[in-house]
Structure 1
Amino acid sequence: MINPLQTPLLYRVLTSLVAPVLPLWLRRRAKVGKEDGSRLQERYGRTDHMRPPGELIWLHGASVGETQMLRPLIDRLLEKPDRHILVTSGTTTSADLLDKQLPDRAIHQYLPVDTPRATARFVAYWFPTLAIFAESELWPNLIWTTERANVPLALVNARMSNASLHGWSRRKRMARSVIGAFNLILPADSKTAKGLSQLLDRSVPEIGSLKLDAPALAYSQDDHDGLRRWIGDRPAWLAASTHEAEENVILDLFQAVRAEKPDSVLIWLPRHPERGEALTKRTGGAQRSKGETPRPDQSVYVMDTMGEMGLALSLVDVCVLGGSFAPELMGHNPLEAARAGVPVITGPHLSSFADLFDAMAAAEAVIIVEPDALADAVLQGLDGQLSDQARTASDFAEQQSGVLDITVTRLEELIARRYMDPDDWGDTPS
């Protein structure tokens, strides 16, 4: 079987051939809520928005996690008053959240499908001053079209798994055509930096993760006060960013904790909000997305809403961080809880943030346990026995700064280079 990612020419030919059937595919997705039916034209590179005059910086993130990571970067780039921002993503959840969050002079659009015609239409219309892609969201036609338009390309917070790096290494011609098109690559971890250096045959130094340099999460004080009245003096713990594959682990944990502390309450914030209804039925709790306020006799509140991790963390004594209790999972960022001063307990499957968790474990700033040891760890947190760990984690989080400043500086340098004669550019930055 021929892999369409084997060569650039084959990829372009195949994506051109499938283009006529994409409208049917997108309409089917819209029927099941995976696309916004009222905005399908954006998936073909068309829009009703006028392009603002002057500098337009385009940032792309795949979904909620990536676009939320870009928020502080967007704010910094908008410090120049005459500059505008275009943010693209591919999911309805990220679009809904960004539509509520984006500041003035920032626009959200859905990413065009990766066909030669749709990407050419998109780039020609928006013609950005700089294109910034986040993490590992790489669409070949879109990248090549942007490169041909002489728009500088940056890959920020670059993160790739071992499997992804291995896959690209088997297709070096394609990798060098796609990843090599970036004028600036800023890896988030040493594994990605080393892998990309070998792949591109040039030095790509690690600078660290933008997720480590994020501010403490904000929340509504009114919402906090209302839920605080429900909790009262009861001990409270959080199951955060959990996946369906580990829900039984959390349910068993809930029963074990209740057996020791019958008055304890659980706030459950699933990674994917669509799991909220099932979790509410299984626990007998209240469901936030339906506007329900938990009754005094309820011990579970399912916060199946986006962008409310800060609120959840403000209410609890300890956080169990999901995405880590099943072999197919790879962990989530623990620094949000650490910055909130909440003890962090997580599982053993942490490959996406291996460097970070290794450093935190060495500093005794996180507790990593197997599922059978979870209950004891949570009970220690509810008894106040993890306060030293919480302080250490908070201090550790405060030390993870500077990545955002470095990223902004390098991006501004790349913008400035655009206005220079290419013959004066010198070496391509990495």
Structure 2
Amino acid sequence: MKKQIDKGDKTIWIHAASLGEYEQGLPLLEELKKKYTKNKIVLSFFSPSGYEVKKDKTPADVVIYLPMDTIANAKQFVALIKPELAIFIKYEIWPSYLRELKKCKVPALLASAIFSRKQIFFKPYGGFMRKSLKNISHFFVQDDNSKDLLNTIGFKNCTISGDTRFDRVFQILKNDNELVFMATFKGEHRCMIAGSTWPEDETIIVDYINQINENVKFVIAPHHIKSSHIEKLVDSINKKTIRYSKMKEATLDDVEVLIIDSIGLLTKIYNYADIAYVGGGFSTGLHNTLEPAVFGIPVIIGPKYDGFKEAEDLVELNGIISISNKNEFRRQLDALWSDNTYSKNTGKINADYIQKKQGATKEVMSHIVKLL
């Protein structure tokens, strides 16, 4: 940090726990970079899943790991970067850092925050963490419930701004999402894309692939791409299957299943889906449903989606379909393949939902302009 930040530098500090929070805060980071050209943007991570992926691929000027939350670390860190503003994304409450920022009269914002009654702030024994919240200058929350909960413990410095992730995923539509190999692979066929899958998801998907007789193509992009797992997955499929790392575009026409054993392609691959399946809902936790939903297609997930607000909303609206077993998976896919109107209407629910949720970045930026 000493090598990258000079004494005269003005900085804005953004902290994201991991890759998901980074993607959530990226619209803010980009806007800050455009508007405050004389400031260095310091981006900190806690998890390697964010730092290792984005340390060389971000608009931020300085990318670092955030040291552990001790009084000594907080003092040294804040003294080094001398931020004019600090922004924490979603859940990040670091008591020592927040206390030091307040002591140094640096505004600290919590952006795209979401609160639930289960959190320690709202428990009788949560006094220490409630005290930490007093060092946050302003809360930008995703929904009414979060604002109401903060109000119950005395915090009125709160704005319902929505979630900056919706601004992020909506930008996807403006990008160049063309992939030559996907256009060749899909051709005139219908195609289902299964993204961020775990073994529990893949068991259900492969069972369907092995039994279906219709002329449909499939893409599976596993969450883990270890060679041993990919080979086992390929061996379990009884249709012509190829790995992305071994494909030759000239041979893709008659391939029925494509396994993506590489990272960084999934967002663009969803552009070619007629139906998407998003993994994690049978195991560790649901992955990003907004990336396929923004393309206006039906999305299928497993049964565990509590706490994922956009999934909860879209299941209720019937844009995302939750299934609990292979029979339900088959039944829902067959219905979507056979009824084009049903499929289009389901996808439109998803696209409309994301369209209506735009604007969180603009809301937060309008507040920042008053501070800097």
Q: Is the 8 A contact 2:200 2:282 kept in 1?
A: no
Larger fraction in helix: 1
Asked whether 1:86 is paired with 2:42, we answer: yes
> Against the structure 1 CA distance between its residues 47 and 340, is the aligned structure 2 distance closer, same or farther, given a 3 Å change threshold?
farther
Q: Which residue of 2 aligns with 1:209?
A: 163
Aligned equivalents of 2:276, 2:155: Cα separation in 1 = 42
Aligned equivalents of 1:54, 1:179: Cα separation in 2 = 28
Aligned equivalents of 1:229, 1:52: Cα separation in 2 = 54
* CA apart distance, 1:124: 1.0
2:85 alignment partner, one of 120, 130, 136: 130
Asked whether 1:395 is paired with 2:352, we answer: yes
Aligned equivalents of 1:52, 1:335: Cα separation in 2 = 41
> Against the structure 1 CA distance between its residues 194 and 102, is the aligned structure 2 distance closer, same or farther, given a 3 Å change threshold?
same
Q: Which residue of 2 aligns with 1:368?
A: 322
2:232 alignment partner, one of 281, 293, 308: 281
Aligned equivalents of 2:9, 2:332: Cα separation in 1 = 54
Q: Is the 8 A contact 1:180 1:200 kept in 2?
A: no
* CA apart distance, 1:56: 1.5
Q: Is the 8 A contact 1:133 1:156 kept in 2?
A: yes
Q: Deviations over 1:335-380 (max 9, x none)?
A: 32222122212233222233x3454345443323333411222233
* CA apart distance, 1:107: 2.3
Aligned equivalents of 2:8, 2:80: Cα separation in 1 = 12
> Against the structure 1 CA distance between its residues 276 and 232, is the aligned structure 2 distance closer, same or farther, given a 3 Å change threshold?
farther
Asked whether 1:252 is paired with 2:209, we answer: no
Q: Is the 8 A contact 1:320 1:346 kept in 2?
A: yes
* CA apart distance, 1:406: 0.6
> Against the structure 1 CA distance between its residues 304 and 93, is the aligned structure 2 distance closer, same or farther, given a 3 Å change threshold?
farther
Q: Which residue of 1 aligns with 2:368?
A: 411
Query: Residue 246 of structure 2 aligns to a residue in which SS?
Result: coil
Asked whether 1:292 is paired with 2:246, we answer: yes
Larger fraction in strand: 2
Q: Is the 8 A contact 2:296 2:349 kept in 1?
A: no
Percent of paired sites with the same residue: 19
Q: Which residue of 2 aligns with 1:420?
A: none
Aligned equivalents of 1:69, 1:277: Cα separation in 2 = 32
Root-mean-square deviation (CA, aligned residues, Å) is: 2.9
Q: Is the 8 A contact 1:60 1:133 kept in 2?
A: yes
Aligned equivalents of 1:52, 1:106: Cα separation in 2 = 15
Q: Which residue of 1 aligns with 2:69?
A: 114
Question: What is the TM-score with the length of structure 2 in the denominator?
Answer: 0.84
Tell me how many residue pairs correspond in the alignment: 358
Aligned equivalents of 1:318, 1:400: Cα separation in 2 = 22
Q: Is the 8 A contact 2:294 2:354 kept in 1?
A: yes
* CA apart distance, 1:133: 0.4
Q: Which residue of 2 aligns with 1:344?
A: 299
Q: Is the 8 A contact 2:201 2:280 kept in 1?
A: no
> Against the structure 1 CA distance between its residues 391 and 78, is the aligned structure 2 distance closer, same or farther, given a 3 Å change threshold?
same
Within 5 A, what are the aligned runs for 1:43-82? 46-51=1-6, 53-80=8-35, 81-82=37-38
Uncovered stretches (5+) of structure 2, i.e. residues with no partner: 236-240
> Against the structure 1 CA distance between its residues 254 and 319, is the aligned structure 2 distance closer, same or farther, given a 3 Å change threshold?
same
> Against the structure 1 CA distance between its residues 266 and 91, is the aligned structure 2 distance closer, same or farther, given a 3 Å change threshold?
farther
* CA apart distance, 1:263: 4.9
What amino acid maps onto 1:409 in structure 2?
S
Question: What is the TM-score with the length of structure 1 in the denominator?
Answer: 0.74
Q: Is the 8 A contact 1:58 1:128 kept in 2?
A: yes
Aligned equivalents of 1:119, 1:311: Cα separation in 2 = 40
* CA apart distance, 1:205: 4.5
1:178 alignment partner, one of 129, 132, 136: 132
Aligned equivalents of 1:231, 1:357: Cα separation in 2 = 27
Aligned equivalents of 2:94, 2:225: Cα separation in 1 = 27
Asked whether 1:196 is paired with 2:150, we answer: yes
Uncovered stretches (5+) of structure 1, i.e. residues with no partner: 1-45, 417-430
Asked whether 1:268 is paired with 2:182, we answer: no
> Against the structure 1 CA distance between its residues 253 and 193, is the aligned structure 2 distance closer, same or farther, given a 3 Å change threshold?
same
* CA apart distance, 1:397: 1.7
